[in-house]
Structure 1
Amino acid sequence: MRALLQATCLCGIATLAAAQGDAVDAVSGTFQPVNTVGETFTGSVSATPGDGDVVLRLDVEGAPPGMHLAHIHGFASADPEASACPDAAADTNGDGYVDLIETREQAGVTMIPFTDAPAGLQIESRNYPIAGEGGRMTYEQTVELAALQDEVEAAFDTPLALSQRVVFIHGAPEGTELPDSVQTLEGVPAAVTIPIACAELDAVEQ
C-alpha cells in the first residue's frame, strides 16, 4: 500500500511539473519605429492566456493605410535566447535600411502570423491586420493554446516562450521607393516585408 501511495504521489508531482512547464505567462510590448518609413508608428501588443486559450491583440496608431504583415519572431532552439528589436548595427550592408533578412541576427526567424488562424503558422495570407486612412490598426484573435504550442514545437523545435520573442509589423507606405539592396523574401516586394515597427515581449507582472 505504501508503495502504491508513493507511486501515486510521484505521478501527481510529475503531472503538476509538466503542467507548470507548459504554463504561459501573459506578455506585452510597446512598439518602437524601425526604419524611417515607420517613424510615425506607436502602439502596443499583448498575448494573454486563459481557459486553455491565448488572446493576441494589437492596437496601433500611425500605420500607413493598408494591410500589414505582423508576426512573432524568435530563435528556433530548445532553450531560446531572448530576441531583441534590431538597432542601427543590424544594417549590415549600410544602405540605410534594416531589412527583414538583417533582423534575423538579433530577432530570429518569423514564427507566428497575426492572421485569422495564427496556429496554422501560414505566413502567406490575405488576412493580416488592415490600417485605416487615419493610421489606426487593431487586431484580436483567440487561439487554442495547446494547438499553438504544438505547432510551434513541431515547426521550429522550440517552445512557445513568448517572453523571449519580439513582434514585427511590416510594410512601407504605398509608393515608397527602396533601393535594390533592401533584401526580402523570394517573390515578395521589399516594400511589403520591410519592418516598420518592433516590440519586445515581456512577462506581465500578475
Structure 2
Amino acid sequence: MVKKYVAAITSLNGDKIGTHPTGEATFTVDDETLMVEITMDHTSPNTQHWMHFHGFPDGKDAQPATIAQDTNGDGYVDLAETEPVSGTTMVPFNDKPEKMDIPTDTYPTSDANGHFHYKKEVPLAEISHKFKEVFNDDDLHLEKRVIYIHGVPESMELPDTIQGAVGKYDQHTTLPIAVGKIKSAD
C-alpha cells in the first residue's frame, strides 16, 4: 500500500534574513522505500541548507514554530525555541537519511537564485530500524511531524542570542528559515 504525505513550506525568520523561502515537500511510502522530494525557492543563494523532520518521540503532534516562539525577544526563532512546539530533530534530508547523521556537509546547496531540488529514495527497512534504535519506534509517523529548512550565509550578521550550535556548525547553519506541517495526502 502506498501512502503519500505533503508539506507546504513557508518562511520563518524571513523579515530578519531578507528573503522569504517557500517550497513543498512530498513523502511517498511504499513497502520498501520512502521517497522524499523537496523543492525550495527564495532561500539564501549559494548556501547549504540543512533539512530535517522534527517531532516528539512520545507521539505528540508537532506544530510549526511561529514568531510567538521567540521567547528571548531577539526577533529570531532559533532552533532551541522551536522545540516546545516542534520537538526534536529526527531525520535529516542529506545524502543518507537512513543513517540519521544530522551534522554533515551533505545537504543540498541552493543556486544563485536561491532554488534547490532534493530527491532521495530511502530504504524503508533501514530508516525504520535506525529510527527504532534512536527513538524506540519503527513508525516514522509522518503525519505528526514538521519539516524545517535551515541555513543562512556565514557572512550574515546574527545576534549572539541565537542558539543552535551543533558541533562545529554555528547558528548560520542551524537557523530555521522555513517550516511546514507534514499532512497525509490520501
Is the structural similarity TM-score above 0.5?
yes
Instruction: Look up the match of 2:184.
Output: 203
CA distance in 1, matches of 2:78, 2:175: 5
> How far is the alpha carbon of 1:39 from its aligned partner?
3.9
Evaluate the alpha carbon distance shift between residue 51 and residue 160 of structure 1 in structure 2; reply closer, same or farther with a 3 A threshold. Answer: closer
> How far is the alpha carbon of 1:201 from its aligned partner?
0.2
CA distance in 2, matches of 1:133, 1:63: 10
- Is structure 2 residue 168 aligned with structure 1 residue 190? no
For structure 1, list consecutive stretches of 5 or more residues without a partner in the other structure: 1-22
Structure 2 residue matching 1:43: 3-state secondary structure: strand
Instruction: Look up the match of 2:161.
Output: 181
User: Is contact 2:3–2:30 with CA below 8 Å preserved after alignment?
Assistant: no
For structure 2, list consecutive stretches of 5 or more residues without a partner in the other structure: none
Amino acid at match of 1:93: N
Structure 1 residue matching 2:85: 3-state secondary structure: helix
> How far is the alpha carbon of 1:38 from its aligned partner?
6.5
Query: If each structure's helix is expressed as a fraction of its own residues, which one has the higher value?
Result: 1
Amino acid at match of 2:68: A
Structure 2 residue matching 1:102: 3-state secondary structure: helix
> How far is the alpha carbon of 1:174 from its aligned partner?
4.3
CA distance in 2, matches of 1:87, 1:171: 17
Instruction: Number of aligned residue pairs: give it.
Output: 181
Identity within the alignment, %: 33
> How far is the alpha carbon of 1:46 from its aligned partner?
1.1
CA distance in 1, matches of 2:145, 2:72: 25
CA distance in 2, matches of 1:166, 1:24: 20
Structure 1 residue matching 2:83: 3-state secondary structure: helix
Alignment of 1:102-181 (within 5 A): 102-158=81-137, 159-181=139-161
CA distance in 2, matches of 1:173, 1:84: 26
Instruction: Look up the match of 1:54.
Output: 34
CA distance in 2, matches of 1:166, 1:94: 23
User: Is contact 2:10–2:20 with CA below 8 Å preserved after alignment?
Assistant: no
User: Is contact 1:25–1:163 with CA below 8 Å preserved after alignment?
Assistant: no
Structure 1 residue matching 2:89: 3-state secondary structure: strand
Give the ranges of 4+ consecutive aligned residues of structure 1 lying more than 3 Å apart after TM superposition.
Answer: none
- Quote the RMSD (CA, aligned, Å): 1.6
User: Is contact 1:24–1:162 with CA below 8 Å preserved after alignment?
Assistant: no
1:57-101 residue CA offsets vs partner (Å, 9 max, x unmatched)? 111111112211111111012xx1111110122111111110001
What TM-score do the two structures reach when normalised by structure 1?
Answer: 0.83
CA distance in 1, matches of 2:91, 2:136: 14
1:139-184 residue CA offsets vs partner (Å, 9 max, x unmatched)? 0000111211121111012331011001100012442111111111
What TM-score do the two structures reach when normalised by structure 2?
Answer: 0.91
Instruction: Look up the match of 2:76.
Output: 97
